[in-house]
Amino acid sequence: MVKKKASKSDYDASQIQILEGLDAVRKRPGMYIGGTGTEGLHHLVWEIIDNSVDEAAAGFASHVEVTLHRDGSVEVTDDGRGIPIGKKPDGRTALEIVFTELHAGGKFGSGAYSASGGLHGVGASVVNALASKIVAEVDREAATWRLVFNERIPGNYLKSGTFKPGSKLAKVKAVPKSRTGTRVRFWPDLEIFDPDARLEYEQIRDHVARVCFLVPGLHIKLHDRRGAGRDPEDFVAAGGLADYVDYLTVGEPVTDILTIKSESSFEETVPVDGKMSKVVRECTIDIAMRWVQGFDTKIVSFVNTIPTSEGGTHVTGFERGLTKAANDILLAETKKLKKLAKAGNDRATPADVQEGLVAAVKVVFAEPQFKGQTKQELGTPPVQRLVYEATKLGLSDWVNGGGRKVHVNGLREKMTQAILNRVLAKQQLDARRKASSLSSNGMPDKLADCRLHGPDAELLIVEGNSAAGPAKQGRDSEIMAVLPLRGKVVNAGKASLKQVIDNTEAQALITSIGAGSGRDFKLEDCRYGRIIILCDADVDGSHIRCLLLTLIYHYMRPLLEAGQVYAAQPPLFATKVRGKQLYAFSDEERNQLSAEHNVELNKWKRFKGLGEMNVEELAETTLNQESRVLKRMTMKHGEEATEAANLFSILMGNDVATRKEYIVDNSGLINPELLDI
């Protein structure tokens, strides 16, 4: 059947539809909660939680309780003032209007809330629009009052269980006059949301934990009653954003936590009583930040109590203020940068300044302008200037005496090195691409590559040619590549970027992996799904493994974070019993196997290195995916490797005086195995 094409005459007044009440939300839920998947489902929870948090931020609540029920509902309780229950002129209570009318609430202007997270008056009503049922209870005026919304229709259940529509509140029980608060329990309408949409405990946990950092002193209790075995968790933070930055910090700090607090104001033209008028907005700026070793940048931002994942004018002002103060105050007259001045490369870029930065930026003011209902990006223009000035002044004061000298100097050195690294990296990497050590396909000549690349491919890193020969013969050349190391890898924990680039072995590894290095490393560009380190089970092997892990930890960290780095566990001993090959990975295992199979200890062969294994032995113990033993390396191993590599540098390096001093100072702490005794 051919569908009739609409004609011009078909388009008339009857085609114009008016979506009444909450129908607009159900028709286009993505406009209000960002989508109908898991994130949209969580957005409903945030709307109800954030209403309670606004009460706490305004100073009227101190406790919030969030409960995930077994039947899929979510309940949020607070000890705030309670949603008003008085009647409006049309006979409906304020409680009913809050849940049934879009753009209705107490957060317009500066009456009930001087500043809040909910601004558009659609939070509670959007939850009602996308829920199959809501039970709202309010403690006010010495009683508990209840109103139920069944498929968005207000009313209450009779004792018989029948739902009776209506606007009248049910008086549930008497409570002390001093008790106030709100309880909201809602059941999401599963017909609206995707079948795989789920409420994730960890995501809700992270949200309530973050909220406590934003409202110091607020106590939130989280219950998950959907299954057995999970105890309630309590969250409270007294230190505000400084505690949050400390919570987010990963790695060794370069500075202590710098806090900036400022109160400013700006003028804004907004409609007042139907006329465009200028109003003065009071704005509180709260910033906490610190720098750590490493390349990663973590900046979280908030407006009132709402996280702004897309940033906005407050983050732009913060970043501009940081860069300006860093160049004009912190890095001014730095000797190491003078050589770059002629070429105009002596100024720090925002990326240089933010290398290793962990920061939280929060602004509080009434009626902020957001780009979209989901409030992910702040759009209020004057806030950029206020945050810029506060950040620039705060960092300048810290540099000029507010901060500890050792931290100021440490940050100056870190930013200086970031600039030098950026300039040198471009020069050196351009030169490296043309180096004769690369073959016609751009890979190191010594790399015995595999035919296929991707998640199933493996790069085997081996010590020298003695181990490379058997590895190449015993590998599956379809998916296994072999890269032999022909010299010491630079200690990336101590070396500069230039020293890493100049190290042949480090560059061979970075080039072979093919995903870049440092902040430019892209995990999706990695040519191999697994990086496997094959080192001898001796001191030299341990040293090389530490250096490799240190290089990966500092310059290709996403590999460790993604769990794509492994250390092969070659056996120490081998013997044959009635034609069957036995392997032992330790003295204890060898002794146990000897007792089980009645084998004398002198019948065991001791492997001093992978190069002593024949092709069959190496293939079976370290290459065969079904029989080999691999140990996954993690970020913790990377940190430990950096410490061990530095210890090796002291104990096995050429600086005799440093080694002697270390041994004398730590003679009771050194593991004798590291000394190859």
| Residues β-bridged to residue 480 | 458
**From 243, 367, 476, 538, active-site residue:** 538
Residue 327: count of CB within 10 angstroms of its CB: 19
Residue 452's contacts (CB-CB under 8 Å, 6 or more residues apart) are 478, 479
Listing DSSP states for 248-269 in one string gives H--S-BSS--EEEEEEEEEEEE
Cα-to-chain-centroid distance, residue 412 = 26
Q: How far is CA 475 from CA 168, 486, 608, in A?
A: 78, 20, 21
d(CA 512, CA 442) in angstroms, rounded, equals 9
For residue 441, the SS3 value is coil
For residues 551 and 492, the answer to whether their CB atoms sit within 8 Å is yes
102: how many CB neighbours lie within 10 A of its CB?
16
What is the DSSP-derived secondary structure letter of residue 593? H
210: how many CB neighbours lie within 10 A of its CB? 19
Q: Would residue 310 show up in a list of annotated catalytic residues for this protein?
A: no
Q: For the chain, how many residues are written?
A: 677
Residue with tokens 């049309």: 90
In the annotation, is 655 catalytic?
no
Q: How far is CA 263 from the centre of its chain?
A: 30
Burial of 417: CB neighbours in 10 Å, binned 0-12, 13-18, 19+: middle
**Other CB atoms within 10 A of residue 90 CB:** 8
Whether 502 is catalytic: no
User: DSSP 3-state assignment of 529?
Assistant: strand
- The CA distances from residue 291 to 181, 248, 403, 518, in Å, are 41, 11, 13, 17
Which of 463, 505, 617, 639 is flagged as catalytic? Answer: 463
Task: Give the torsion sign (CA, 474, 480, 484, 485).
Answer: negative
Longest dimension (CA), the chain: 100
Among candidate residues 65, 352, 536, 620, the one labeled active-site is 536
Q: How far is CA 187 from CA 101, 166, 407, 463, 602, in A?
A: 19, 20, 51, 61, 72
Name residue, tokens 């370290």.
622
Instruction: Give me the catalytic one of 540, 589, 612, 640.
Output: 540
Q: Which residues are catalytic?
A: 463, 536, 538, 540
